[in-house]
Amino acid sequence: MQIIPMRLWIMIGVSALLFTCRNVQADHGAHHGNNTKTVNHAFQAGETLTYTITWSDIVQAGTAVLEVKAAETAKNGRRAFKLISTARSSGLVSKFYRIDDRIQSTVDDEELYTLAYSLDQKHGNRKKKREMTFDQSAGTVKVLRDGIQEQFTVPERVQDALSSLYYARTRQDFTIGKPIIIDVHDDGKTWSVELQTLDREKITTPLGEFNTIKVKTYPKYEGVFQHKGEIYMWLTDDARKIPLLMKSKISIGTVIATLTAMQTGETVP
């Protein structure tokens, strides 16, 4: 019975599911102005972050990798980052419920909003694919799933579930007592994601000792998280705001995602 919760939580290491939604779906106007324009001092092409996912620091459940690929030319003629997230089960989890997920997001490298998103998910014998194409100037997104395409209205500067992590890292307003709200669109719904800054702490990880910002968010995102717990994240307390550690308590223990390898890529201006 423990394998199913572990399957649900292995994706903690994947940023597409880190920024889960606190509030229910709201209309376009309620989201206006949440995603303020920022300047990127946090990440550049070549960055690779590798996480080990464990259950209660005992069982290794899998690995997750976040990558920033070299800038490419987007369809609108502007340059863009390609963000890639992969998650794979390992050990006992793989024997009972194999997971192989790949998520890709294309982000304008100056405006830092999402342009395109794709999901290719394999959980056991189940497979799921989804593609989204954003027109930020028109405030719309086209969602393709199961061969059916639909169009939805989205707020300005909206993010997808993966790009939201990278956008959050560029924010400079992590302040205790002042939540950060980020608008995220996924699968036909726009959510207001709330991040709460709790404290600044020094932690020790396999990569050394770091000053961090401790952040809390709420897993109420439909279809993935099946309980109402909380996720805690520790980001480096610097311009990069690299996620070092992520924890969440579930009914049978604690799921932990720990950064175990890092390539920082090019120098951030």
The parent domain of residue 215 ranges over 3-264
Read off the pTM. 0.84
In this model, does residue 224 exceed pLDDT 80?
A: no
Residue 145's nearest CA partner among 157, 158, 159, 133 is 133
Percent of the chain with pLDDT over 70: 75
- pLDDT single digits (tens) 58-110: 777 788 899 999 776 766 677 899 999 988 877 766 666 677 788 999 999 99
Number of domains in the chain: 1
Residue 13's nearest CA partner among 71, 90, 70 is 90
The torsion region of residue 207 among left (phi > 0), alpha (psi -120 to 50) and beta comes to alpha
Highest mean pLDDT among 130-139, 228-237, 254-263: 130-139
Amino acid at position 236, single letter: T
Structural tokens at position 21: 């939604």
In this model, does residue 200 exceed pLDDT 80?
A: yes
In this model, does residue 14 exceed pLDDT 60?
A: no
Per the prediction, the chain carries an average pLDDT of 80
CA 239 to chain centre: 18
Where do runs of H (alpha helix) occur along 101-212? 163-169
What is the rounded distance in angstroms from the CA atom of residue 269 to the CA atom of residue 263? 17
Is 269 within the bounds of a domain? no
**What is the mean pLDDT of the segment spanning 154-159?**
94
* pLDDT band for position 142 (cuts 50, 70, 90): very high
Is 72 within the bounds of a domain? yes
Structural tokens at position 242: 């690299």
| pLDDT number for residue 197 | 96
Spatial contact of 61 and 89, defined as CB atoms under 8 Å apart = yes
68-76: long-range pairs with CB below 8 Å, 24+: 68/43, 68/44, 68/166, 68/265, 69/45, 70/45, 70/46, 71/45, 71/109, 72/106, 74/106, 74/108, 74/115, 75/115, 76/108, 76/115
DSSP letter at 88?
A: E
